[in-house]
A = this chain, B = another copy of it.
């Protein structure tokens, strides 16, 4: 692809008070805490990174096995193993700052109080942006349950909003009856943006050799095969909200990214795609810029605006 327009293009994007050099962010749980991928790519080439989900206390996570590849994707059952907010602040935050990495801290709690506490600690440490994980599948307490009921969700986000003044992003999953109600609650509670989707509840079954019983992994499905679910979810919540949306779910190439912009995303995250191609996010940043030059889009808003015109609107069922 020849570069027809030699001028630089503006790929930048704003999510609340968070400025992104471009709309490409790496997703929580797939990129570590800081500069883990610097052997594979230029970290500064992308808009930012989201840290692994961080809890108030360190977590051990689930027993092995935690990973199962399935057709078109991956089921994981990590169980939020992480070093906890204190160790993050002490050991990881300095690395992020030294390396000048634009980052968002993904947080998860077992109670509203925990979310509030972690958010306060983030505020005290002048962290610019947090992503509240309200959608990790299969947790007995916390996380997903808060993301299912719009009333308790509203209260929870409101409480966090009170203590955190940076960019507040709320991450939703598709395992809910009424996506739009949840999204509206998040917006009304004062969040700056919604990110979606988290992994989808799934199970892999392995029948034992003698057909006596079975082993299984229950966890979250990510990767290519959830893309149609993610696009649908984002399209649905976009109709009812006007805060920015950070879209994700199986994005693996430029065209996928354009699809997410079209249905309502203002930025996107790359998760499982990094496992397939460790420098995928960098490559997409490069491809997006080149694409905009070749096709004469001076800034990202113009591209997104152009993509977002629907020319067929129908409501299917079966």
A residues sitting closer than 8 Å to B (CB atoms) are 29, 53, 62-63, 66, 70-73, 75-80, 136-140, 143-144, 148-149, 174-178, 199-205, 207-208, 211-221, 224-225, 227-229, 231-233, 235, 255, 258-259, 262-263, 295, 303, 306-312, 314-318
The reply to whether A303 and B211 form a contact with Cβ atoms under 8 Å apart is: yes
Supposing A72-B225, A218-B315 touch, asked if A307 and B177 sit within 8 A by C-beta, the answer is no
**Chain B nearest CB: distance from A274 CB in Å?**
15
Chain B residues within an 8 Å CB radius of A204: 228, 231
The reply to whether B201 and A232 form a contact with Cβ atoms under 8 Å apart is: yes
The reply to whether A214 and B307 form a contact with Cβ atoms under 8 Å apart is: yes
The reply to whether B208 and A317 form a contact with Cβ atoms under 8 Å apart is: no
Q: Which among B62, B73, B303 is the interface contact of A317 at CB below 8 angstroms?
A: B62
Chain B residues within an 8 Å CB radius of A258: 207, 211
Chain B residues within an 8 Å CB radius of A143: 317
Top 4 closest A-B pairs, CB basis?
A77-B316, A213-B309, A202-B228, A219-B316
Q: For the complex, what is the distance from the CA of A307 to the CA of B235, rounded to whole Å?
A: 40
Q: Which among B80, B144, B219, B231 is the interface contact of A203 at CB below 8 angstroms?
A: B231
The reply to whether A218 and B177 form a contact with Cβ atoms under 8 Å apart is: no
| Given A62-B315, A140-B315, A213-B308, 10 further pairs, Cβ under 8 A | A29-B318, A78-B317, A149-B177, A175-B177, A201-B232, A205-B262, A208-B311, A213-B311, A214-B307, A216-B235
Chain B residues within an 8 Å CB radius of A221: 228-229
Chain B residues within an 8 Å CB radius of A148: 177-178
* CB pairs A–B below 8 angstroms (14 shown): A70-B227, A78-B317, A79-B316, A137-B316, A138-B315, A138-B316, A203-B231, A203-B235, A204-B228, A207-B258, A211-B295, A217-B316, A218-B232, A221-B229
Q: For the complex, what is the distance from the CA of A205 to the CA of B295, rounded to whole Å?
A: 20
The reply to whether B228 and A318 form a contact with Cβ atoms under 8 Å apart is: no
Q: For the complex, what is the distance from the CA of A160 to the CA of B129, rounded to whole Å?
A: 52
The reply to whether B232 and A317 form a contact with Cβ atoms under 8 Å apart is: no
Q: For the complex, what is the distance from the CA of A225 to the CA of B227, rounded to whole Å?
A: 11
Q: For the complex, what is the distance from the CA of A175 to the CA of B310, rounded to whole Å?
A: 25
The reply to whether A311 and B177 form a contact with Cβ atoms under 8 Å apart is: no
Closest to A231 in B: B203
Q: Which among B136, B214, B232 is the interface contact of A202 at CB below 8 angstroms?
A: B232
Closest to A176 in B: B177
